[in-house]
Each structure stands twice: as structure tokens, then as C-alpha cells.
Chains A and B, each alone.
Chain A
Amino acid sequence: MESDIKLIDDNGKRLDGRAPDELRKIKIEVGVLHRAEGSCYLEWGGNKVMVAVYGPKEALPRHTQNPLRAIVNARYNMAAFSVDDRKRPGPDRRSREISKVISEALEKVILLEKFPRASIDVNIEVLNAEAGTRCAGLTAAGVALADAGIPLKDIPVSCAAGKIDGHVVLDLGKEEDNFGDADLPIAISPRTNEILLLQMDGHLTVEEFDKALEMAINGCHIASDIQKKAIMDKYQSAPEVK
């Protein structure tokens, strides 16, 4: 797609002044909701996301229960005021798809066998959206799960790469997402680099795809360090429970 605006200038700087392999600013707060078992508030550039984890608890209705393991119900929801034009509230095709892929990504890192017949609810509320909300949501969900004390194999983390004006870049911003050529959000388990989620919007050649994937994995590792620091800051000085 040819765009009228130039997304990347002659010096290789992007619209918001970032280098091609630079992330937006990430801020994470752990344990912000008192009634939830685990929670996290995350700001990723202009994205603002709040995640609450409830459970494990008995899965209802009972036919959804799995006698061998827990089920994960992630619910991605965009607030009506999260975008410039009011979003019609409630689940739609897009949010249902995102909820499904996030649930499946989280199932891969949670030790589900410890809680047969249970469900773990992960509510992801997007308060402000600016491209890459599913990555922000999943990254926050990982922190909230750790905060809830749910046994995890790793803290999942997510980041996107994409293509704008023919260049492969990391973490697309709003204009880059709207007028760019491709978007590649991924989620990984950072200790093993196992891919938990991979979606692609637009077209990439095989070489571009490989480059974007490598770039996104690097981005995930940077975000992962911020996640870990946020958890450590909250609990480093905290006394042990029991």
C-alpha cells in the first residue's frame, strides 16, 4: 500500500523520533487492584492496559471443566473511550479473536495440571489504545499471573515488529500500523524463546519475515526485563507469606 505520509525519514528516524529497532516507553505497575487475586497496570507508549486475574476457581458452567487440568479464560475488552471514535462497547469479532489467541498463549506457560476442573480468568481491559494492544495486554497478563501466585513455567511476554515504507521496524506506532505494509505481533516464553503467539497482518517476504521475527524476539526480551524489574521492585523487600 502506497501512503502519502513518509513514515521513516532519510536519517532512518521514525515519525515519533525512534530508531527502527527501538521500543516505545514501557511502564509496569504490579498489584494495583485489591479485590483481584493478581493484577497489573501497564503503559506501552500510548497504550494503557489494566489486567486482573481471578482464580483458579471451580469452572462454571460445569461442562466447561476439564478433569485433568485448568482452563484459561482470557477476556480482552476495549473500553468505549479507548479510541478516538467511540468504540461500540461489548465483545466483537476482533476482541473475541484476541481473547482466544491470548488464552491459548497463556495456557502454554501455566502449570494447568495442578488445578483440575478449575478456571483461571484473565480480564484484560484496554483503557487507551494506540497500536499493539494485544501485545501490551499479554505482557501485562504475564505479570498479573505471576502476581496471583499461579504456577508458571515462565513469564510470557509479547512484542510486535512490522514493515513501514519498505523497512522492517520494531513495535509499530499508531500511524505506522494504519499506513504501514505489515504487522507481526508475537509472544514468547523468554527463557526458551518458544513462540506462544504469532499473527501477521499484511505481506512480508521470507527474508523480511525472518528479520522481523528476530527483531520482535529481541523486543520481547527488552520488555521481559522491564516485567521482571517491576515484579522485583514490588516484592524484593516484601516479607514471605506463611
Chain B
Amino acid sequence: MTENNMVLPGEKLSTSEELLSGDGTFEEDGIIKAARVGKYVVDEKNRRAMVKPVTSIPVLLKKGDTVLAEVRFIRSSMIIANVIHVKGENRRISGDTNGTLRVSEISQSYVKDPASEFSLGDIIRAKVTQVNPNIQLETKDRSLGVIKGLCTKCRHSLIKKDNILECENCGNKERRRTAIDYGNYDLNNL
């Protein structure tokens, strides 16, 4: 198979003596074959055969991804959040979505109790710091943190006023570790 050609799943690309099997390929009996529809390219630096996809491909979380997550549990030393979206992707996440955010990773400053920074049902923006064996998140940057919070008394949306969040329904005032763009985020670039 020559380089830069369109290939289909199962097509022979190269041999394991010549190249390593990279993204979008698999190895069977010493032969490297394409695993998806795309363009065959060789990464000369690493001598790796790859197939650049032309279709959408399943989304797998990677270290460094910016994600949106929903707070599900709050413990004394961490919160557990369900990752619901990866920035820049328009496909759902394949595989595990339960992320943990440790107290020490919440903010640059000292946080005594995660419950003072987050509340159940909050939508947070976080960065993935680890995927294996489990997903670890981090919200230290100013752009990270709560992007939508709900009133703990009546579950209505909280609106940012100066440095405090106020419930639009009951006027309850709450504190969160908010992202810098709380309340005016760009829906096309979450």
C-alpha cells in the first residue's frame, strides 16, 4: 500500500518488520492493517503506520483534555464528577466517565472542605490530569471551575453578582469556585 492513499478497514498497509502499528491500525500475523476509513500516513520519526480518519471517531479521554463534568458526590477530601463533554468534540465519550477531583487540585489556594467550593449538580469545567487507572481532574486555572451552579435551597440557576452567586428565584447567596467566564460562556466553544 502506498502512502497518502484512502484505505478501508482490513486493508494491508505494511509489515511489522518495516513499521510499528500506530493509530487506526492493527497487527495480525506480522501484517499491519487499517482499522478505519482514512488516509494512510507513515510517521517517519517513529516509523509508525497510521490511518488519519475521514469519519468521526470515538472520543477517548486523554491527559490534558478540557472537559465539562457534573458534580455527583462530595466527600471530605474530594468530589466525584461525571464527565459529560470533551472540549472541541461533538461525539459522546466512549468508556469510563467517572472523574475524581481531589481537594488539593481544586484551587491554587488552600481549600479545607470541597463542599465550600462545589455543590451537587454543578456543571464544572476541568482539566484531565490522569486517565489510567482512573480519571483525575484539576480546576486550578482561572478558566476552570463551576460554569453553572444551582441554588441549594430551590435548585434554580445562580447568577453571578460581583464576587458572589445569587439565586434568581429565592435570593439565596452562595459561594463557589467559579470559572472566570461564569454566566457568559461561549456555547459554541465549551
Does any Cβ of B come within 8 Å of A235's Cβ?
A: yes
Q: Is the interface of B mostly helix, strand, loop or mixed?
A: loop
B94 near A56: Cβ-Cβ < 8 Å: yes
- Interface of chain B residues 13 through 55 with chain A (CB within 8 A): 24, 26, 28, 33, 35-39, 52-55
B97: chain A residues within 8 A (beta carbon): 58
* C-alpha spacing A140/B9, complex, angstroms: 15
B33 near A153: Cβ-Cβ < 8 Å: yes
The smallest beta-carbon distance between B186 and chain A, in angstroms, is: 21
* C-alpha spacing A148/B53, complex, angstroms: 11
B39 near A231: Cβ-Cβ < 8 Å: no
Interface centre among B8, B9, B35, B57 (most CB of A within 10 A): B9
Report which of A189, A190, A240 forms a contact with B53, defined as CB distance below 8 A: A240
A56 near B95: Cβ-Cβ < 8 Å: yes
Chain A interface: which size bin? 20 to 34
* C-alpha spacing A112/B78, complex, angstroms: 33
Give A149's nearest chain B residue, CB to CB.
B57
Does any Cβ of A come within 8 Å of B75's Cβ?
A: no
A189: chain B residues within 8 A (beta carbon): 10
Does any Cβ of B come within 8 Å of A118's Cβ?
A: yes
Chain B interface: which size bin? 20 to 34
Does any Cβ of B come within 8 Å of A19's Cβ?
A: no
A240 near B52: Cβ-Cβ < 8 Å: yes
A239: chain B residues within 8 A (beta carbon): 54
A149 near B55: Cβ-Cβ < 8 Å: yes
* C-alpha spacing A157/B178, complex, angstroms: 52
B52 near A155: Cβ-Cβ < 8 Å: no
B36 near A153: Cβ-Cβ < 8 Å: no
B8 near A57: Cβ-Cβ < 8 Å: no
* C-alpha spacing A132/B54, complex, angstroms: 31
The smallest beta-carbon distance between B89 and chain A, in angstroms, is: 10
B96 near A37: Cβ-Cβ < 8 Å: no
A37 near B91: Cβ-Cβ < 8 Å: yes
- Interface of chain A residues 120 through 178 with chain B (CB within 8 A): 146-155
* C-alpha spacing A191/B26, complex, angstroms: 15
Does any Cβ of B come within 8 Å of A206's Cβ?
A: no
A152 near B6: Cβ-Cβ < 8 Å: no
* C-alpha spacing A232/B37, complex, angstroms: 9
Does any Cβ of B come within 8 Å of A80's Cβ?
A: no
Does any Cβ of A come within 8 Å of B188's Cβ?
A: no
The smallest beta-carbon distance between A70 and chain B, in angstroms, is: 9
* C-alpha spacing A98/B121, complex, angstroms: 42
Give A240's nearest chain B residue, CB to CB.
B52
Does any Cβ of A come within 8 Å of B62's Cβ?
A: no
The smallest beta-carbon distance between B99 and chain A, in angstroms, is: 13
B10 near A153: Cβ-Cβ < 8 Å: yes
Does any Cβ of A come within 8 Å of B58's Cβ?
A: yes
Does any Cβ of B come within 8 Å of A241's Cβ?
A: yes
B9 near A146: Cβ-Cβ < 8 Å: yes
Give A150's nearest chain B residue, CB to CB.
B58
- Interface of chain B residues 108 through 130 with chain A (CB within 8 A): none
A51-80 contact mask (Cβ, 8 Å, vs B): 1 or 0: 000011110000000000000000000000
A153 near B95: Cβ-Cβ < 8 Å: no
Does any Cβ of B come within 8 Å of A46's Cβ?
A: no
Report which of B9, B56, B91, B96 forms a contact with A117, defined as CB distance below 8 A: B96
